[in-house]
Amino acid sequence: MMSKNIELPASIVIRDLAQKIEKSPIEIIKKLMTNGVMATINQAVDFDTAAIVVAEYGFEAVPEVQEEVKKEETGEIPLWRRLIADEDASKLMARPPVVTILGHVDHGKTSLLDAVRQTDVAAGEAGGITQHIGAYQVEKKGRTITFLDTPGHAAFTAMRARGAQGADIVILVVAADDGVMPQTREAIAHAKAARVPIIVALNKMDKPNANPERVKKQLAELELVPDDWGGNTMVIPVSAKQKQGIDDLLEGILLVADNADIRANPEGKVIGTVIEAEVDKSKGTIATLLVQNGTLESGNIVVAGKAFGRMKAISDYKGRAVKKAGPSTPVAVMGLNDVPSAGDVFQVVGSEKEARAIVAERLEEEKSHAQAKKKVSLEDLFASVQAGETKELNLIVKADVQGSLEPIISELEKLNEGEIGIKILYAETGNIGENDVMLATASKAIIIGFNVQADVAARKLADAEGVSIRLYDIIYRMTEDIEKALKGMLEPEVVEKVIGRANVLAVFSASKLGRVAGCRVTEGELRRNAKVRLYRGTDLVFEGEMASLRHEKEDVKEIRTGFECGVGFKNFNDIQVGDYLICYVLEKNA
């Protein structure tokens, strides 16, 4: 009996292999076990191993001819590749690249966008943009480039955290007179985590104190080696103020886009990303959609996140009414019943009934997900590594001073020699903020802090998004925990649970205790044996234990929401009216 040929990629997940030969995944796992290979349903095996399995079912494996959709180092496939994975390869066509601009504040992001806009208007029709929809297009050498006018890397990462990746290319604006700054490093970390090609626009070259060579050296230290130094990063000198270098920048974008082979099927399924949305008093919900595959037409029924509706009107970035929009085209649409969130993925469906069913299912999923949501811990990441779902442990490291940060990174890199890699997405000095949590959310990373605190907003966001923040004051304990996690030996994590909050309404003196805070509990409860933090605005002024907890001159064990009490702090008297405190306990995570 002749064997049937079956095309297999260089690596294939067990579930997909089972589907290809129409067998049960359990059956495939059993076959692998008899051949001495232990694998789970979500684990990938190489071509040779898969070939042995399929041969037992009468198939002969041959290498897959069509280009394999490869995962990046992080295991993350760019959104546009996921969109075209099921499309007919013969119908895929090159589409305009989608570009976003990131960089440090005051380095000229907005000025550069304006310069690009004006270059296009001067070369084409007069008038300019009549409607701001968060995105626009320019022409260069008869080709179109789409720019996303997003407010920095926080929005860029928020989109990734919601499952979207709107941009194909990132323009990193760095001022030639100022060099790499903290927000520049942050922007680089966010772009690298998204696995998006980076072009550096070296702005303010017209300034007398511009020092491009110094900036290139700083970029090279951050693994963005300029192409004229033999690296892979295009560094293009520009002056947004003088409108110089803009044409070179646009040509650079087209070159990078050609190498990235950005394609879509204009006739395929209609899917894309929500850029922004708002409610207009006279027009209702207006959303900016970036079409990434297929062609959106007036009258289509769209589901975007938890919103849906029939497209009543579509207009381009200049406010002109259009009947349809193809891949990489940003359009403003009317007709959605609710306001979707930036970063929501939208799709066209066949009927309103189908749209309602999809939204109802998403609402139910969100409800159950919120109930089941727990923090991604080091233990969880190790489990996913063991299951073959990831090969890297993503970390964000924050430390109090540069002198602490360098030895921490050095120690962590020593652990980066086993089967499981450690990838430091971002390392910087300062307290843990919301941007750090957003990056961790989008990249499934753990935040490690050394001699720093997480601010209140960051802690709330981390709780909501299920991001684990681990704080240390001894370096070897930090590295020991990570080493144990990589070996699967980590003890249950001691986590912080906030149990109550209170505002300081008055301050008075007590003979034995010194100064005491007169507080009203605004949320949860205060417990005498719990730990407490005292804040003045955003600054942490005390962290430690209560010396006393009293209600109407009586010592009490706890005080609940709405009640007033007196709180004394151990060895601390600098209390002011307007301060607020957070009460918390430490619990072991099972």
DSSP 244: B
- The candidate with the shortest Cα–Cα distance to 446, out of 491, 381, 493, is 381
Counted residue by residue, the chain has a size of: 590
**All domains of the chain, ordered by start, with CATH?**
4-63 (1.10.10), 96-261 (3.40.50.300), 271-372 (2.40.30.10), 378-491 (3.40.50.10050), 496-588 (2.40.30.10)
Q: Specify which of 162-166, 258-262, 423-427, 546-550 reaches the highest per-range mean pLDDT.
A: 546-550
Question: Averaged over 22-31, what is the pLDDT?
Answer: 81
With cut-offs at 50, 70 and 90, classify the pLDDT of residue 21.
confident
Q: Contact at 8 Å (CB) between 348 and 301?
A: yes
- The candidate with the shortest Cα–Cα distance to 400, out of 435, 440, 427, is 427
The model carries a pTM of: 0.57
Say how many CA atoms lie within 13 Å of 264 toward its Cβ: 26
SS3 at position 65: coil
Return d(Cα 93, Cα 292) in angstroms, integer.
Answer: 12
Q: Where are the beta strands (DSSP E) in 205-264?
A: 234-237, 263-264
With cut-offs at 50, 70 and 90, classify the pLDDT of residue 243.
confident
pLDDT at 126: 36
pLDDT at 559: 92
Listing DSSP states for 74-135 in one string gives TSPPPHHHHHHTTS-GGG-EE---EEEEEE-TTSSHHHHHHHHHHHHHHHS-SS--SS--SE
Question: Averaged over 311-335, what is the pLDDT?
Answer: 91
Say how many CA atoms lie within 13 Å of 375 toward its Cβ: 25
Question: Averaged over 48-57, what is the pLDDT?
Answer: 84
pLDDT at 60: 82
Return d(Cα 583, Cα 569) in angstroms, integer.
Answer: 12
- 153-161 helix and 434-443 helix, angle to the nearest 10 degrees: 40
pLDDT tens digits, one per residue of 525-565:
999 888 999 998 888 889 888 888 998 888 898 999 999 99
The token duo for 360 is 């109802």
pLDDT at 380: 61
Look at 492 and 220; give whichever has higher pLDDT: 220
- Asked whether the predicted pLDDT for residue 91 surpasses 70, the reply is yes
Return d(Cα 527, Cα 557) in angstroms, integer.
Answer: 6
Neighbouring-strand partners of residue 61: 6
Q: Contact at 8 Å (CB) between 502 and 519?
A: yes
Look at 418 and 506; give whichever has higher pLDDT: 506
Locus of tokens 């029924």: 301
Return d(Cα 122, Cα 126) in angstroms, integer.
Answer: 7
- Asked whether the predicted pLDDT for residue 214 surpasses 50, the reply is yes
- Asked whether the predicted pLDDT for residue 502 surpasses 90, the reply is yes
pLDDT at 119: 55
The token duo for 399 is 């430390």
- The candidate with the shortest Cα–Cα distance to 259, out of 283, 296, 233, is 233
Could you give the maximum distance between any two Cα atoms of the chain, in Å?
A: 98
pLDDT at 123: 40
Give how far the C-alpha of residue 245 lies from the chain's centroid of Cα atoms, to the nearest Å: 31
Return d(Cα 581, Cα 78) in angstroms, integer.
Answer: 43
Listing DSSP states for 506-528 in one string gives EEEEETTTEEEEEEEEEEEEEET
Q: Contact at 8 Å (CB) between 202 and 103?
A: no
Return d(Cα 162, Cα 441) in angstroms, integer.
Answer: 9
Q: Contact at 8 Å (CB) between 148 and 98?
A: yes
pLDDT at 383: 58
pLDDT tens digits, one per residue of 103-160:
877 777 778 888 887 754 434 433 333 345 577 888 888 899 998 876 555 556 556 5
Return d(Cα 513, Cα 530) in angstroms, integer.
Answer: 18
Question: Averaged over 498-520, what is the pLDDT?
Answer: 88
